[in-house]
Amino acid sequence: MDDTTHGDLPAEQRHLPVLLETSVQLLAPALQEPGSVHIDATLGMGGHAAAVLHAAPKARLVGIDRDPQALALARERLDREGVGDRATLVHATYDEIPEVLAELELPGAHGVMMDLGLSSFQIDTAERGFSYSVDAPLDMRMDATSDGPTAADLLRELPEAEIARILHDLGDERFARRIARRIVEQRETAPLVRSGELVELLEKAIPAASKASGGHPAKRTFQALRIAVNEELEILASAIEAALDCLHVGGRIVVESYHSGEDRLVKTAFARRTRSSAPPGLPVELEEHKPTFTPLVRGALQADEDERSGNTRAASVRLRALTRTRSAERAH
C-alpha cells in the first residue's frame, strides 16, 4: 500500500497500476471483436481500463466504482487519453454487475478486471481517514455518500471481542485482543474519532520489539477497519460469482488481490469453476460435468523485484486469471 501523497497530480501520475502489462496481455485477446464489452469492476483512476482500451480498439468499457470522486478522475483520464467515447462509467459496488449490465441492455461481457483493495487516490485524500500517516476523521468509507457506519462508529459501538476478531481476521494483527482492550478502555472516557488518536493508541498497545519489523504498527489495524467498514469480503464473495456468470464463452477475467482473505475467496471461487463436477468414480466424464473455466496462469502471479521496488502496492499482489471455455447452461 502506497502512503505517499501526490494529490495535485493527474491520475496517471498519482497511481501506478500493479502488473499492468500482464493484465492487459491476459485480457486483450478476448476483446478484439467489434462491440466487445470489458468491465472494469474496480475502476479507480482508470489506469488498467485505459490501457485495455488502447490494446483493444474495438472494445467498449463499462467502468464501475463505488467512489464518486474516483469516477470523476477516471472520466477525466479516459477523455484525456482519447478513449472516453468508448467508456460508460457507473456508480455502483461491483457485486451489482448483473444490474449494471441489465440497465445497459448488455447480455454479458468478454473481459472483467478487478483490482481489489484501496487506490492511491483514496489514501491521498486525507479527509477520508484511510491513511495512518495523516491525522483525519476516522471515516474510511469508500463511498462517502453512503449512510453506512464509519470506522469511528465501529470502534465506538462494537463489543471488544468483535473488534479483536476484525483486527485478527482482516488485518492479521497478532496483538488484536490487546488493541481491542485498549480501544474499549479509551472509549469509556473519549471514543476515538480521528486517525491520529488511533495511531497514538496503537503505538502504545503494540510491544516495542514487534515494531522493528513488519512495517508501520498501524498498517494492519487500518487495513482491517477499512475492509470491515466497506464490507469488502462480503461484497467480493458475491461479486466474483457475478463476474464469472456474466462472461461469454471465450471471455476472460483477471483479479488482483492484496490481502490473504481476498485471495482465498478468489482462489476458492476459481477452483470451483475449473474442476469437474462429475461424481467420484464415474467412469466417463459427461459433457455437463466438464469445467466451465480454464486457468490462464498457473496459481497466482506475483510482481517481480523491479516492480516491487518501484511500487509499494505491488509487494503483496496475487494475480489470478481464467477464461471461459464453455457455457454453464447444462452444468450442475
pLDDT in tens, 239-260: 999 999 999 999 999 999 998 8
Judge whether 94 is annotated as a binding position. Answer: yes
Which pLDDT value is given to residue 277?
72
What residues form DSSP beta bridges with 230? none
**For residue 197, how many other CB atoms are within 10 A of its CB?**
17
pLDDT class for 330, splitting at 50, 70, 90? very low
Sequence ranges of the domains in the chain: 11-121+232-324, 144-229
**For residue 224, how many other CB atoms are within 10 A of its CB?**
25
Model confidence at 22: pLDDT above 50? yes
**Residue 304 burial (CB < 10 Å; 0-12/13-18/19+)?**
exposed
C-alpha grid cell for residue 74? 477516471
Q: Can you list the alpha helix ranges (DSSP code H) found in the chain?
A: 11-14, 20-27, 47-55, 68-80, 97-103, 120-124, 151-157, 160-171, 176-187, 195-205, 219-229, 232-246, 260-274, 305-310
Judge whether 47 is annotated as a binding position. Answer: yes
Residue closest to 119 by CA, chosen among 228, 265, 268, 18? 18
pLDDT class for 122, splitting at 50, 70, 90? low
The rounded mean pLDDT for the chain is 89
**Strands laid side by side in the 109-115 sheet:** 87-91, 60-65, 37-40, 109-115, 247-257, 318-324, 293-295
Query: In this predicted model, which residue has the larger pLDDT, 136 or 9?
Result: 136
Which pLDDT value is given to residue 5?
36
Distance from the first to the final alpha carbon of the chain: 40
Which residues fall within 8 angstroms of residue 280, CB to CB, at 6 or more apart? Answer: none
What is the SS3 assignment for 112? strand
Judge whether 48 is annotated as a binding position. Answer: yes
Which pLDDT value is given to residue 129?
73
Which pLDDT value is given to residue 146?
84
Q: Which CATH superfamily is domain 144-229 in?
A: Putative methyltransferase TM0872, insert domain (1.10.150.170)
pLDDT in tens, 155-208: 999 999 999 999 999 999 999 999 999 999 999 999 999 999 999 999 999 998
The Cα–Cα gap between 24 and 13 comes to 19
The Cα–Cα gap between 76 and 88 comes to 13
Which pLDDT value is given to residue 120?
57
Q: For the chain, what is the total number of helices (H) and then of strands (E)?
A: 14, 7
Q: Which CATH superfamily is domain 11-121+232-324 in?
A: Vaccinia Virus protein VP39 (3.40.50.150)
pLDDT in tens, 40-89: 999 999 999 999 999 999 999 999 999 998 999 999 999 999 999 999 99
Judge whether 289 is annotated as a binding position. Answer: no
Contact 71, 63 (CB under 8 A): yes
- Region of 161 please: left (phi>0), alpha (psi -120 to 50) or beta: alpha
Judge whether 46 is annotated as a binding position. Answer: yes
pLDDT in tens, 23-36: 999 999 999 999 99
